[in-house]
Amino acid sequence: MKHFFNIRRVLFSLLFLSLILTAYTLYYKVRYWGFDLKPNKTTDVWIIDAHISFKALGGPVNVYLSTPKTDSEFKILNEDVIAKGYVFEKDENTGRVKLSSSFRKGKQNLYYRLTVYDNEASLGKTKSKEKAKINLPVYDEQQMQTAEEILAAAEKLEGNTVEQIISIFNQSPLNESVETLLPVKANLQTRAEYIADLLALKNIPTRFVRGVKLIEGKKASKADLMLEAYDGQNWHLFDLRTAAEGLPENFIIFQRGDVSLFDVEGGINSQIRFSVLKSVTSSFKMAEHRADVSATAGYYAFSIYNLPLAEQNILKWLMVFPLGILVVVLMRNVVGVPTMGTFTPMLVAMSFVQTGFGAGLICFSIIIAVGIALRGLLSRLNLLLVPRISSVVIFVILIIEAMAVIGHNFDIEVSSSAVYFPIIITAWIIERLSISWEEEGPKNALKEMFWTMVTAIATYAVIASEAIRHFMFAFNEINLVILFVVMLLGTYTGYRLTELKRFYPLIKQRK
């Protein structure tokens, strides 16, 4: 008895450990490799084209462009420059790109293409230890008075000081004082500068942020402008139109603060325009790159996801087997139904997954029925066992062949699905069914067949869902859990469900 509990204790500990392992790898794979619990999860991949155009003056040309840092909220999949004859350099720390060429004249078109994915939620806060300095505006007396009126009016609005001041510049109709302060045709940039000025008066340091809002199909647009305000520890990002704090979704920052977004030396009439293209790809395909950028490439290389696709597909199929096995174990040892062959129901269920349930069930029934009929003829010939079962195997092959041909020519899908059934297993079912029929009567044979099919259907119900198959593949450590559950079931000494029914009369007799 002591021995018995020791085995169980060991198995329970192993089960517990494998559960922890599974939970950990699940977290790990979701966090770093971008795996999802659900199948067919896709990832948006954004392609951003920065198009710099200018007129070269005939001398050497240097073009500088601020680009997103590699530690930005987006993961950078690819970076590409189309600039014929230009030398490409990049400062990895600042993300500043330099394109240089000697002696250029005339219209120049340079393209910088960035492919990014995985926009992670962010509060739009950036830590900064450097003390930010304040550039007080140079205002005359009248401007100063207007500015104070605006500040006083802004205080009545909701939000913190930054939000109040941005809001007052976006009111409709515009506050009179604001209208007085702003030049006649004020664009967003001008407005932003006045907002920064007023914040400086309030002793709040600010800086501008330029980036691209990722909207599908965006063409030749200017960079989007945002404002960052410093609170003594962090830079906070604000939308200049809505005054909302934080980094908007799908916004990628190219440049911050004093550095320019782009500079052209040796050219005039320079401008930069951004275009955005969205493409969708399977999350699974991005896993390797995710692993690379998260410095877990080593683990990834030794995972099954790094194998050739054909092998992965086979493994994906294999990963479902333990689950089917678990169902079989439960049906046999806990429910206690008789089945023909231990894993026959599971293999039949596997075929159902490929054929579809209804079609598979009808098709399988037809194969068995025809097989039984042919086997009936065979039993009159009194053949020896091995040649006889071999003949049944050939019968099954012929039946499958015939059904496939009929299915193809008359366009009957049910018939065509015959090819998915395991030949040897089917042949053994026919053989056993007919022997059991002859020796123990049709009742017994049909009972065994019935429970075999019930077990197959139960297994099918579990493994049919694509979601479960995906889960078993993506988080295949779960198979260890199943292993120990199955081993623990090997120590289960309780009654089987069918035994309760079998021995139930003994309780009644006692009364």
Partner 1 sequence: MFWPFDTAKKLKSIGILGMNARNYKFIARLNKRRLYPLVDDKVQTKALAIKNGINTTQQIGIIEYQHDVKNIKEIVKNFKEFVIKPAHGSGGKGVLVIKQWDDNRFVTASQKVLSYAQVYQHISNILSGLYSLGGQYDVALIEEMVHFSNIFEQFSYQGVPDVRIIVYKGYPVMAMTRLATAESGGRANLHQGAVGVGLDVKTGKTLTAVQHNVPVQIHPDTKADLKTLCVPFWREHLLIAAKAFEMTGLGYLGADIVLDETKGPMMLELNARPGLAIQIANSAGLVKAIKRAEKFYPKNLSADERVDFILKEN
Instruction: Mark the segment that binds partner 1 (CB under 8 A) among 24-32, 148-156, 265-273, 493-501.
Output: 493-501
Distance CA 326, CA 479 (A): 10
Please select the residue that binds partner 1; options are 184, 295, 309, 384, rule is CB under 8 A.
384
Residue 173, preceding peptide bond in cis (omega within 30° of 0): yes
Please select the residue that binds partner 1; options are 16, 103, 450, 503, rule is CB under 8 A.
503
List the end-to-end C-alpha distance of the chain, in Å, as a whole number. Answer: 32
Q: Which residues, 6+ apart, have CB-to-CB distance to 432 below 8 Å?
A: 340, 341, 448
Which residues in 206-225 contact partner 1 (CB under 8 A)? none
Q: Where are the alpha helices (DSSP H) in 188-302?
A: 188-201, 283-293, 297-301
Please select the residue that binds partner 1; options are 336, 338, 341, 356, rule is CB under 8 A.
336
Starting at the edge strand that comes first in sequence, how are the strands of the sheet with 234-238 ordered?
125-127, 234-238, 224-230, 206-213, 251-256
Tell me how far, at minimum, the Cβ of 120 lies from partner 1, in Å: 49
314 lines the binding site for partner 1 (CB under 8 A): no
Q: Please tell me the count of residues contacting partner 1 according to CB under 8 A.
A: 28
Please select the residue that binds partner 1; options are 172, 203, 269, 493, rule is CB under 8 A.
493
Q: Which is nearer to partner 1, 186 or 497 (CB)?
A: 497
DSSP code of residue 186: -
Distance CA 337, CA 450 (A): 10
Distance CA 437, CA 375 (A): 12
Tell me how far, at minimum, the Cβ of 438 lies from partner 1, in Å: 11
Distance CA 112, CA 99 (A): 10
Instruction: Mark the segment that binds partner 1 (CB under 8 A) among 43-51, 363-371, 377-385, 405-413.
Output: 377-385
Q: Which residues, 6+ apart, have CB-to-CB distance to 147 below 8 Å?
A: 137, 139, 181, 197, 198, 201
Tell me how far, at minimum, the Cβ of 378 lies from partner 1, in Å: 13
Phi and psi at 136, nearest 5°, equal -70, 140
- Name the residue among 442, 82, 117, 455 with its Cα closest to residue 279: 117
Instruction: Mark the segment that binds partner 1 (CB under 8 A) among 170-178, 201-209, 454-462, 485-493.
Output: 485-493
Tell me how far, at minimum, the Cβ of 350 lies from partner 1, in Å: 24
Instruction: Mark the segment that binds partner 1 (CB under 8 A) among 34-42, 55-63, 241-249, 498-506.
Output: 498-506
Q: Mask: binding to partner 1, 400-439, rule CB under 8 A, as x and -?
A: -----------------------------------x---x
Tell me how far, at minimum, the Cβ of 506 lies from partner 1, in Å: 6
Q: Identify the helix (H) or strand (E) that includes residue 471.
A: helix 466-474
Tell me how far, at minimum, the Cβ of 500 lies from partner 1, in Å: 5
496 lines the binding site for partner 1 (CB under 8 A): yes
Which residues in 287-306 contact partner 1 (CB under 8 A)? none
Q: Which is nearer to partner 1, 6 or 491 (CB)?
A: 491
Please select the residue that binds partner 1; options are 24, 88, 103, 492, rule is CB under 8 A.
492
- Spell out the SS3 assignment of 272-329: EEEEEEEEEEEHHHHHHHHHHHCCCHHHHHCCHHHCCHHHHHHHHHHCCHHHHHHHHH
Tell me how far, at minimum, the Cβ of 115 lies from partner 1, in Å: 58
Instruction: Mark the segment that binds partner 1 (CB under 8 A) among 21-29, 108-116, 274-282, 489-497.
Output: 489-497
Instruction: Mark the segment that binds partner 1 (CB under 8 A) among 13-21, 178-186, 416-424, 500-508.
Output: 500-508
DSSP code of residue 247: P
Amino acid type, 476: N
377 lines the binding site for partner 1 (CB under 8 A): no
- Name the residue among 460, 429, 428 with its Cα closest to residue 446: 429
Please select the residue that binds partner 1; options are 140, 298, 385, 410, rule is CB under 8 A.
385
Q: At what angle do helices 321-329 and 478-489 cross, to 10 degrees?
A: 20
Tell me how far, at minimum, the Cβ of 339 lies from partner 1, in Å: 14
Which residues in 223-282 contact partner 1 (CB under 8 A)? none
Tell me how far, at minimum, the Cβ of 13 lies from partner 1, in Å: 20
Q: Identify the helix (H) or strand (E) that includes residue 181.
A: helix 176-181
Q: In 3-state terms, what secondary structure has residue 334? A: helix
447 lines the binding site for partner 1 (CB under 8 A): no
Which residues in 36-75 contact partner 1 (CB under 8 A)? none
Q: Which is nearer to partner 1, 222 or 496 (CB)?
A: 496
Please select the residue that binds partner 1; options are 308, 386, 410, 411, rule is CB under 8 A.
386
Please select the residue that binds partner 1; options are 129, 131, 380, 510, rule is CB under 8 A.
510
Q: List 225's β-bridge partners, or say none.
A: 210
Tell me how far, at minimum, the Cβ of 389 lies from partner 1, in Å: 9
Distance CA 233, CA 253 (A): 20
Q: In 3-state terms, what secondary structure has residue 44? A: strand
Please select the residue that binds partner 1; options are 183, 217, 308, 505, rule is CB under 8 A.
505
Locate 353 and state its tokens.
């997954």
The residues of the shown chain that bind partner 1, judged by CB under 8 A, are 4, 333, 336, 382, 384-386, 435, 439, 490-497, 499-507, 509-510
